[in-house]
Each structure stands twice: as structure tokens, then as C-alpha cells.
Structure 1
């Protein structure tokens, strides 16, 4: 159930990102400035994608997986924190808290694996 809600939330956010990207293609047209929450989501997405790309540079597939997933999970946590900062819906706020609780231990596990295998 949580996975379904997580996928729904991520899908909704990605759909909104697509709308912003499409709006940018209409240069010369007046587009309202994005809200603080939209800016926070976009900044988080940009940072997540950059960290994921960086993590995927390893030729070792295990290291690439761990580093890429750490970036992905951290992106989910950052988005969840933005939801907690700006969101109003109790169901989504609860889901955001659950995402943080579920993803942080996995980040810790992957970071421990990297350290054990002497990876930066």
C-alpha cells in the first residue's frame, strides 16, 4: 500500500515537473513565477539527478547501484521534507513522514556497505 502511494506521489510530482518544462518551451509568453514549494521541488529534483549521475560513474555495478540509490533515496527524503514544509493534506504529510522513516535506514545501510568496501 505504501509503495502504491509513494509511486502515486512521485508520479504526480513528475507530471508537475513536465508541466513546468513545457511552460519553459513557450518563451515570450508570460508565465507566472513558480511558488516557493515548486522551486524547492525543482531544486531537489535537479540535485537528485546530478547526484545519481555522479554515482553511476563507477565501473563497479555494486558501487554504482549503492551510490545511485543513495542519491535517489535522498531525493525522495528531500521531496518529503518539502511536502512537510508546504503541504497541507494530512494523508500526504503522513506518507512523507513514512518515506523519510523508510528511506533513511536504507541510505544508512548502503553508506555502511560503501564504507566496508572502502568506497568514498
Structure 2
């Protein structure tokens, strides 16, 4: 279950420091690379992407950073949602987890398509050497292990606590993309993520009050 977490947890290096870099770079050339060492990223990418995922040619470093960070962030949320399918006892939590997975799986595919179209690398499992879990809202492997081991009411509370923090991290990244990105499709997705996940945070806060 945690192979994906181990593969993508390393993308956390692209957190606060990377966001600062993006801010410092501002709107850069559409053909430039993200403001971090791209040698740590995999150069492999799918040969093609679906037409629906094709973005406009206009993009900057912030757009690339947004996709490279949000892909592993979403992947962890999907992993957490999959745990809820068999471990959660609360019906509303199960329904919310299914909703999260249904929304974020396609968004992952869309962002992977953008990186391919832009000629930019995907987040790589080779990025995990000596790197912490500092990406906004990203859970550590220890956190994920604790969640996997929990069941019933204990799982429900842990899941909601963790997903609120996780969503808040995604909202932070989405706001950065909206203010610093240039690609219209990426900025629109960021707006969608912020709106949807803010509503889910409010729902989960209400769930916490009754658990």
C-alpha cells in the first residue's frame, strides 16, 4: 500500500523553498525549467497524452512547479482515500473519501499530460535521498503507517485530521499557482482545487465536531 507513498514522498523537497524560488523568479520564459535541480527528476514521460489534457503552449516555472508538486500530493490523498474504503466506520467519511479519489485521480492524469506536453520531467522516486516530508500538508511515511494500522472510530478521526491538513496544503499550492502561474488551464485547475478542497475542509471540520 505504501509503495506509492515511498515513491512520491520525496517530492516534498519542492515545498516552501521551491515556492520561494518560484516567487523570486516571477513570470519566467515559457521554455524555462522549474527553479530547482532538474537532475533529480526523471526524464521519462509518456509519449502522448489525451487531447483533453493538452494545455496551451504558454507556461512558466510556476506552472511546472505546480504540476510537479501537486501530482505526488494528489497521489497521497488518493492513497489515504483508498484506506478509508476498508478501514473507515463512518458513512460520511467513506463517501467523502470516494469523492476525493474520483476527483483527484483524473486531475493527476491531466497534470501528467501537461508535463509531457511541456517537455518537463515527472516527479521521480529518485528524488527521495535524504529529503524530508516538508511539502505543505504532506504526510510522512510514519503518519501513513499509523493510518493504515487504524480501524473504525480511531481511523475516522485520524483520517479527518490528516486530510484537513493535507487539503490545506493543496489549497496553499493552488493559491500560489493562481497568483504566479501563466498557463490558463493550470490556473483554472488550481482554482477548482482551491474551491473544492476548501468546501471539503469545512465538511470535515463538521465531521470532527460529531466524532
**TM-score, scaled relative to structure 1:** 0.58
Mapping for residues 1-120 of structure 1, pairs under 5 Å: 3=104, 6-8=107-109, 15-16=122-123, 18=124, 21=127, 46-49=135-138, 53=143, 56=147, 60-117=154-211
Measured in 1, the distance between the counterparts of 2:110 and 2:136 equals: 19
Q: Which moved more, 1:68-77 or 1:46-55?
A: 46-55
Superposed displacement of residue 9, structure 1:
6.0
Structure number having the greater helix percentage: 1
Distance 1:115 1:98, change over 3 A: same
Decide whether the 8 Å contact of 1:51 with 1:68 is kept in 2: no
Distance 1:104 1:51, change over 3 A: farther
Superposed displacement of residue 50, structure 1:
5.2
**TM-score, scaled relative to structure 2:** 0.36
Tell me the SS of whatever aligns to 2:122: helix
Which stretches of structure 1, 4 residues or more, deviate above 3 A after TM superposition?
1-5, 8-12, 18-22, 50-56
Give deviations 1:13-47, integer Å, cap 9, x for gaps. Answer: x934x49947x88xxxxxxxxxxxxxxxxxx9533
Distance 1:63 1:51, change over 3 A: farther
Distance 1:111 1:51, change over 3 A: farther
- Name the structure, 1 or 2, with higher relative contact order (CA <8 Å, separation 6+): 2
Unaligned runs of 5+ in 2: 1-51, 53-102, 116-120
Distance 1:10 1:49, change over 3 A: farther
Superposed displacement of residue 5, structure 1:
5.1
Matched length: 97
Unaligned runs of 5+ in 1: 26-43
